[in-house]
Chain A
Amino acid sequence: AQSVAQPEDQVNVAEGNPLTVKCTYSVSGNPYLFWYVQYPNRGLQFLLKYITGDNLVKGSYGFEAEFNKSQTSFHLKKPSALVSDSALYFCAVRPPMGGAGSYQLTFGKGTKLSVIP
Chain B
Amino acid sequence: DTEVTQTPKHLVMGMTNKKSLKCEQHMGHRAMYWYKQKAKKPPELMFVYSYEKLSINESVPSRFSPECPNSSLLNLHLHALQPEDSALYLCASSQDMASGDYEQYFGPGTRLTVT
Query: Are A96 and B42 touching (Cβ within 8 A)?
Result: no
Find A103's partner among B42, B98, B103, B108 (CB 8 Å cutoff). B98
Q: Which residues of B contact A45 (CB under 8 A)?
A: 106
Determine which of A41, A49, A88, A105 lies in contact with B40 in the assembled complex, contact meaning CB atoms within 8 Å: A88
Q: B residues within 8 A CB of A36? A: 106
A109 interface residue per 8 A CB criterion = yes
Q: Give chain A's interface residues, CB within 8 Å of chain B.
A: 32, 34, 36, 41-46, 49, 51, 88, 90, 94-98, 102-105, 107-110, 112
Considering the complex, which residues of chain B in the window 60-106 have a beta carbon less than 8 Å from any beta carbon of chain A?
Answer: 88, 90, 92, 97-101, 103-106
Chain B 31-71 near chain A by CB (<8 Å), digits 1 or 0: 00000000011110100100000011000000000000000
The residues of B with any CB-CB pair to A shorter than 8 Å are 4, 6, 40-43, 45, 48, 55-56, 88, 90, 92, 97-101, 103-109, 111
Which residues of A have CB within 8 Å of B45? 104-105
Query: Please, how many angstroms separate the alpha-carbon atoms of A110 and B42 in the complex?
Result: 6
CB of A26 to closest CB in B, whole Å: 16
Instruction: Name the one of A43, A46, A88, A97 contacting B103, with C-beta atoms under 8 angstroms.
Output: A46
Q: Given A44-B90, A110-B42, A103–B55 Cβ distance below 8 Å? A: yes
Given contacts A45-B106, A110-B40, A110-B42, are A102 and B90 in contact (CB under 8 A)?
A: no
Q: Min CB distance, A106 to chain B, in Å?
A: 9
Closest to B111 in A: A41
- CB pair B109–A42 under 8 Å, yes or no, is yes
Please give, as numbers and ranges, the residues of chain B lying within 8 Å of A42 by CB-CB distance.
108-109
Q: Are A105 and B108 in contact (CB-based, < 8 A)?
A: no
B103 touches A44 (CB 8 A): no
From B42, B88, B97, B107, contact of A107 by CB (8 A): B42
Q: A94 to chain B: which residues have CB within 8 Å?
A: 100-101
Q: Which residues of A contact B108 (CB under 8 A)?
A: 42-43
Cβ-defined contact, A109 with B41, below 8 A? yes
Contact indicator A96/B100 (Cβ below 8 Å): yes
Q: Which residues of chain A are within 8 angstroms of B41 by Cβ–Cβ distance?
A: 109-110
**Chain A min CB distance to B40 (Å):** 7
